[in-house]
Structure 1
Amino acid sequence: MKFFIDFSSSSLNKYGEELCGDKVEFYHDEDKFIAVLSDGLGSGVKANILATLTAKIAITMLKEGLPIEDVVDTVIHTLPVCSIRNLAYSTFTIIKVDSNGIAYVAEFDNPSIFFLNDREVKKIEWSTSEINGRKIKESKFELKEKDILVFVSDGVIHAGVGKILNLGWQWDDIQKYLKANTNRNMSSKTVTNLLLGACDQLYMQQPGDDTTVATIKAVTPKKAVLFSGPPIDPNMDKTVVDKIMNVRGKKIVCGGSAGNIVARELDRELKTSFTIIDKDIPPIGYIKGIDLVTEGVLTIRKATGKLEKIKDSTDLKFLYEEDGASKLARMLYEDCTHIKLIIGRAINPAHQNPDFPNELSIKLYVLNELKMVLTSLGKIVEVEFY
């Protein structure tokens, strides 16, 4: 793709509800990005089910390349109109970005998206079509680097209604807020947290409706490689290290054996820090030309746990601590869009010690968990085994 799509979403549940009536689904590969935000009628369990069905149906069909007409037709026939309120059971916003950076947006009864470019809110030209009696707004436009699209459920528009504001936070008010408080250097997560935090304040921490913010940012792809574990065949050591050093991007080595292999093949010294930042996380190391050297399984496990917290966190301070796991999580989240995991499958004798915790005997499981979490955060992850 011309751009990597930095994506994030987060929600506030209606006060007193355990489940959110909004649902966000997204899909990302080398050729396209698709995101769907669905808002179920009402709140609680019923709304959650309706929104989930809509989002799942839409994302599945769009991934297969089916046209918007088929998607809307299927959703409408699966979720009929409420006979009492004469309202659709679920509304939605769909955004697709193709490999050339062309964005397509379709909206059905959701608030219009916000198109930001360096604190300027761009006007979007809409066309309206009717599909099975439903009016669908559509638009197509080109994204440029660092352009940001923000799309929301109506809980954002209603923020503060009956409390701080008489009529809620109107679309124009949100537009002015985003224009004044965001800039092109912010990540999608920062923009999402900023807007959602403002909504939470307007609701006085008691949201009167399910409130969801999702943000897309077009960024230049940034690559990284993470090497962990010695190859089964020691003759492949040089091949692996050459592959690492040829990557234009962040170079990460996890594990003592992997670190020794890299240092030996590069004929450079492996230095170990003796500063204990966290007693549960081993110290980091240093090799000239490598951006980060850490211990293996323990550090990867801790880093994976930190990455898992990102989606539902409004404060990412835990990524800025100085221990090896925080450094690893921060680098993978903030400095990389495409990540190649180079995994050696030779058995580390230390991991087979029966006195060690069970999780230490399953390096591949831990690395697979890392891959799944990174993928859930929208990263493009490739794995090579040696």
Structure 2
Amino acid sequence: MHHFIDVAHHSLNKHGEELCGDKVEILKTEDRTIIVLADGLGSGVKANILATVTTKIVMTMLRSGAELDDTIDTIINTLPICSVRKIGYATFSIIEIDNELNCRMIEFDNPPIFFMRNQKMVALEKTELILSGKKLKRSQVKLAVGDTLVLCSDGVIHAGVGVLLNHGWEWSHVAAYLEDQLHHSSEYLNRRLIDTCNKLYDQSPGDDTTAVTVMIREPQYINVLTGPPISPREDKAIVDQFMNSIGKHVVCGGTAANIVARELNATVETTLEYCDPKIPPIGFIKGVDLVTEGVLTLKMLLSKLKMINRTCEEPDLSKKDGVTRLLKLFIEDATNIEFWVGHAINPAHQNPDFPKDLGIKINVVKELIEELSTMGKQARMLFIDGDFSNQREA
């Protein structure tokens, strides 16, 4: 596959509410990607339930092979109409992209989808669709690498209303803002958009606010070697495969760094400059993109990823320490991340005075994969001991 569908989403709860009234569901299969954003009427528990029901109906029916029109008809006939405001109890936007990048979109009372090509907003040709007496908008487009789609709930275009802006941010203003941003990744762009909304609301959102960014990218691989194989006889073969793998190369751990340097006929250059006294310093090997300390650095990275995934604030990626450099690579550069893990045990971790949890390298990597998957990355762990070639083919 010569493209990667990079999807990121973030939400702000209405001030004072524990649950968000918006809901996002993403389904990736072998032949298509489906994204649903639903906005429940009102806020809090009731809105959350309505939005959740909407997204679940869509995903359940489309996953089972139902036609999109039948799915929409079921939603409209399932959700009641508000007796006071005479509007549906949930609005929604649906995007479906197949492996050939043919994209179908359905919009029902959510703000219009933003579509950018070559950093410029492009108007989508839309046709009106009437289902069960409701007017929906349908559009189709053939996507290409570099294209970006942004869905949002009305909390985005209302950001700042009555606080910093008289009429809210408005669609045209959001469009101009998106055109002005450098699109490093969906995660980067979407987080920046939601963080800006939060600032316009003066940190107290007046409505549930959600954005979903879909970017068509060329796959970008990051390979992380974080443990040597049990048998030293495998060192050369593993290093050769690692360095010949597509993408950037990161080595985490002193033992692994020494093995890589030896097999490359290079040296590990270390620096005594501590960008942050709490974070181990980085090293340098010619031909390797980044060299860091091992488990301590990975655990700090895991802690950062967990914090980032639970907030909508834009992370500071300007620092030069090993943890921030890894974070920047994962967030801005990577679409696919592979952890090359060996079973060799670091003698330092067997010291009874050493914290026991630092020896659980595999569990740390598993948690990293979970957090990266939450960001929409494709991450996996490869054990470099045993029949490693079969793992690579799998």
For the criterion TM > 0.5, the same-fold answer is yes
Q: Structure 1 367/129 Cα, relative in aligned 2: closer, same or farther at 3 Å?
A: same
Identify which of 188, 205, 230 aligns with 1:232: 230
Give 1:292 deviation, angstroms: 0.9
Describe the SS at the equivalent of 1:128: strand
Contact 1:28/1:378 (<8 A) preserved: no
Alpha-carbon distance in structure 2 between the residues aligned to 1:167 and 1:213? 19
Partners of 2:148 and 2:74 lie apart in 1 by 30
Work out which of the residue numbers 181, 194, 197 in structure 2 matches 1:196.
194
- Return the offset for 1:220: 1.6
**Match in the other structure for 1:374:** 372
Distance in 2 of aligned mates of 1:190 and 1:332 = 11
Q: Are 1:270 and 2:268 matched, yes or no?
A: yes
The separation in 2 between residues aligned to 1:149 and 1:74, in whole angstroms, is 26
SS in 2 for 1:320: coil
Deviations 1:195-226 (A, max 9, x none): 43443454344322111122122222111211
Structure 2 letter corresponding to 1:153: S
* TM-score normalised over the length of structure 2: 0.87
Are 1:223 and 2:240 an aligned pair? no
Aligned to 1:53: 53
What letter matches 2:229 in structure 1? P
Q: How has the CA–CA distance of structure 1 residues 108 and 261 changed in structure 2, closer, same or farther, with 3 Å as cutoff?
A: same
Match of 1:20 in 2: 20
Cα distance per residue 1:268-308 (max 9 Å; x no partner): 21222222222332222222111111111110111122223
Q: Does 1:137 align with 2:137?
A: yes
Q: 1:274 & 1:163 partners in 2: Cα distance?
A: 48
Paired-residue identity, %: 49
Secondary structure of residue in 1 paired with 2:249: strand
Once the 2 structures are TM-superposed, how far is the Cα of residue 57 of structure 1 from its aligned partner? 4.0
* Aligned residue identity for 2:174: I
Instruction: Read off the aligned partner of 2:293 and give its amino acid letter.
Output: E
The answer to whether the Cα contact below 8 Å between 2:222 and 2:337 also exists between their aligned partners in 1 is yes
The answer to whether the 8 A contact 2:188-2:332 is kept is no
SS at match of 1:18: coil
Letter in 1 for 2:314: D
Q: Does the C-alpha gap of structure 1 residues 328 and 29 become closer, same or farther in structure 2, counting only changes over 3 Å?
A: farther
Query: Which amino acid in the other structure matches residue 113 of structure 1?
Result: I
Structure 1 residue 103 and structure 2 residue 103: aligned?
A: yes
TM-score (norm 1): 0.89
Corresponding residue for residue 314 of structure 2: 315
Partner of 2:352: 354
> Bigger shift: 280-289 or 190-199?
190-199
1:107 is displaced (CA, Å) by: 1.6
CA distance change for structure 1 residues 258 and 117 in 2, over 3 Å: closer, same or farther? same
Return the alpha-carbon distance in structure 2 between the equivalents of residues 301 and 63 of structure 1.
36
Deviations 1:223-276 (A, max 9, x none): 121111122343332222121111231101111222222122222212222222
2:36 is equivalent to residue 69 of structure 1? no
Residue of structure 2 equivalent to 1:182? 181
Structure 1 pair 315/201, CA: closer, same or farther in 2 (3 Å)?
closer
- Aligned counterparts of 2:140 and 2:62: Cα–Cα separation in 1: 16
Measured against aligned partners, the alpha-carbon deviations of 1:153-188 in whole angstroms (never above 9, x if no partner) come to 012233344455554444344334444x335x4533
Q: Which of 337, 340, 343 matches 1:339?
A: 337
Residues 63 and 292 (structure 1), Cα distance of their counterparts in 2 relative to 1, 3 Å cut: farther
CA distance change for structure 1 residues 254 and 27 in 2, over 3 Å: closer, same or farther?
farther
Q: Using a 3 Å threshold, how does the CA distance of structure 1 residues 281 and 194 change in structure 2: closer, same or farther?
A: closer
| Partner of residue 210, structure 2 | 212
| Cα distance in 2, alignment partners of residues 45 and 124 from structure 1 | 34
- Closer/same/farther in 2, CA of residues 53 and 361 from structure 1, 3 Å limit: farther
Name the residue aligned to 1:288. Answer: 286
Q: Structure 1 residue 75: deviation in Å?
A: 3.8
1:156 counterpart residue number? 156
Hey, what's the Cα distance between the residues in 2 that align with 1:337 and 1:204? 33
Gaps of 5+ in 2: 386-394
Question: Residues 349-378 of structure 1: CA distance to partner in whole angstroms, max 9, x if unpaired?
Answer: 332333222311211100101111111111
Query: How far apart, CA to CA, are the structure 1 residues paired with 2:227 and 2:64?
Result: 37
Report the secondary structure of 1:342's partner residue.
strand
Residues 317-364 of structure 1 show CA distances to partners (whole Å, capped at 9, x for unaligned) of 1x3222111111111222211112111123333323332223112111
Q: Is there any run of 5+ residues in structure 1 with no aligned partner, and where?
A: none
SS in 2 for 1:245: helix
Gap change, CA 1:235 and 1:77, over 3 Å in 2: farther
Q: Match of 2:126?
A: 126
| 2-structure distance, mates of 1:223, 1:173 | 34
Separation in 2, partners of 1:207, 1:28: 31
